[in-house]
Amino acid sequence: MQENIVRSHPLFIGAAMTVILSCLIAAAVVTGVIPGIVSQKNAAHPAKTALALPACANCGTVEAIRQVQVDRPQKSTAWRIAVRMDDDSHRALSHAEPPALAVGDKVRVVDGRAVALK
């Protein structure tokens, strides 16, 4: 009696083992079982990795701009600009005319007014 034995080619078996092993290693790296590889190239030159801007005590980012009604002797319109400063404090500025700013713009506060940085 003759048995019908189906054999796979050794290259197919090797390729399948390689794929399985690669998937297991990738899953271990993603889940943190194997720590990821950190590039040493950027650690050697930290000044090149971050944009080196001089420190600015009066600089920040526009978080919100809204139009408000002011009831002083006459009704008028003003714009309130909320700025998150680089030191994580907040400032609320008032402008009598529509500001040429948008949310997300980098600004410097000069004499109580927000001036766009270039």
| Distance in angstroms (rounded) separating the CA atoms of residues 46 and 40 | 11
Of the candidate ranges 49-63, 84-98, 103-117, the one whose mean pLDDT is the lowest? 49-63
**What are the residue boundaries of the structural domains of the chain, listed by start?**
7-47, 59-116
Is 59 strand, coil or helix? strand
Confidence at residue 37, expressed as pLDDT on a 0 to 100 scale: 62
Q: CA torsion angle for 59, 63, 69, 72 (degrees, to 10)? A: -30
Q: What is the structure's pLDDT at 31?
A: 82
Mean pLDDT of 13-22: 93
The predicted pLDDT at position 49 comes to 47
- What pTM does this model have? 0.51
Mean local confidence (pLDDT), 99-112: 91
Residue 8: what pLDDT? 84
The residue ranges of DSSP E strands in 20-100, in sequence order, are 59-71, 75-85, 90-95
